[in-house]
């Protein structure tokens, strides 16, 4: 029987869990004065997913600081994001303590994002395992492939929008790999890079379906409308740069032996940690 690997985007789960309750100023401060709302929600998301997908192996990937190789390429990358809220900051280390107690490897490397680690590991495992990526971030859809699917978190707990490559192609009309060129053209406001100014998703998608790749589009600018051609010519450097920013690096220097990621929770050890953190109702998920 093939292994079932769950790759978890730790940051996506942690931020989602934090903001779900922080909107109402509910930070779950425990008796030691430590806010725990993000960690509590993260654990609930994680255990709900392991109960749902029944993985044989689980690995958690993390961003390691805000500066990555993308900031070296383009200093404005993600510059529109403020510092994390003060109630979230102490939970960054705390959440990793909890995953360690659950015997789940924490993977991350300075200079790369969690997505790069996830993409690299997914490619490494896809021929020996069925890989499910758990995240709330659609950027990772570009790594969909044989043996790799993506479960996007939906509202609440236990609700997933599961994508396999076939579904993506059917819905979008392009391959997951072509998503990189799509984002290069349309940019990404949440990551703060512009792509080609004035070219939105609709135009970018149409051109991509017509020509296949960004390189072919750029080689055939004379076939575009006068207005489209002018936009591309004005932003040639930026479209090449945006493609580098959009592409998940699936050759990051990370690895994790699957024998270290077997999902076997020591319930007693985990419950001791939950009691220490004053998590009252999470035991039922373990």
Task: List pLDDT tens digits, range 9-57.
Answer: 999 999 999 999 888 888 999 999 999 999 999 999 999 999 999 999 9
Just give the CATH number of 3-165+248-280: 3.40.50.1010
148-153 and 160-163 beta bridge pairing: antiparallel
Q: What's the pLDDT at 174? A: 97
Enter the tokens of residue 96. 């990793």
Indicate the DSSP class of residue 272: H
Domain boundaries, the chain: 3-165+248-280, 172-246
Which segments within the chain are labelled E, that is strand? Answer: 3-9, 57-61, 106-107, 129-135, 148-153, 160-163
pLDDT under 50: residue ranges of the chain: none
pTM of the model: 0.96
Q: What's the pLDDT at 3? A: 96
- Reduced to 3 states, what is the DSSP secondary structure of residue 200? coil
Q: What's the pLDDT at 23? A: 80
Q: What's the pLDDT at 176? A: 98
- Phi, psi (degrees; rounded to nearest 5) at 31: -65, -15
Q: Name the fold adopted by 172-246.
A: DNA polymerase; domain 1 (1.10.150)
Same fold across 3-165+248-280 and 172-246: no
Q: What's the pLDDT at 65? A: 86
């Amino acid at each position: 029987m093939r292994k079932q690997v769950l790759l978890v985007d730790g940051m996506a789960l942690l931020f989602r869990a934090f903001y779900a309750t922080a909107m109402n100023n509910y930070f779950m401060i425990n008796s030691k004065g430590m806010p725990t709302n993000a960690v509590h929600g993260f654990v609930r998301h994680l255990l709900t997913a392991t109960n749902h997908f029944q993985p044989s192996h689980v690995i958690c990937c993390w961003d390691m600081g805000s500066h990555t190789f993308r900031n070296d390429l383009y200093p404005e990358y993600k510059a529109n994001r403020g510092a994390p809220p003060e109630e979230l900051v102490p939970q960054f280390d705390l959440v990793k303590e909890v995953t360690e107690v659950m015997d789940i490897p924490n993977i991350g490397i300075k200079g790369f994002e969690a997505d790069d680690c996830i993409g690299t590991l997914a490619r490494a495992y896809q021929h020996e395992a069925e890989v499910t990526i758990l995240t709330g971030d659609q950027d990772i859809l570009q790594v969909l492939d044989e043996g790799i699917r993506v479960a996007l978190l939906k509202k609440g707990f236990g609700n997933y929008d599961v994508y396999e490559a076939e579904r993506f192609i059917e819905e979008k009309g392009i391959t997951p790999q072509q998503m990189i060129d799509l984002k290069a053209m349309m940019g990404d406001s949440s990551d703060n890079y512009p792509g080609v100014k004035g070219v939105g998703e609709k135009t970018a998608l149409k051109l991509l379906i017509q020509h296949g790749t960004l390189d072919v589009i750029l080689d055939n600018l004379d076939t575009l409308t006068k207005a489209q051609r002018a936009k591309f010519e004005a932003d040639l450097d930026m479209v090449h740069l945006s493609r580098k920013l959009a592409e998940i690096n699936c050759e990051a220097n990370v690895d994790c032996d699957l024998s270290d990621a077997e999902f076997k929770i020591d319930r007693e050890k985990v419950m001791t940690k939950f009691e220490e953190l004053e998590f009252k109702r999470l035991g039922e998920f373990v």
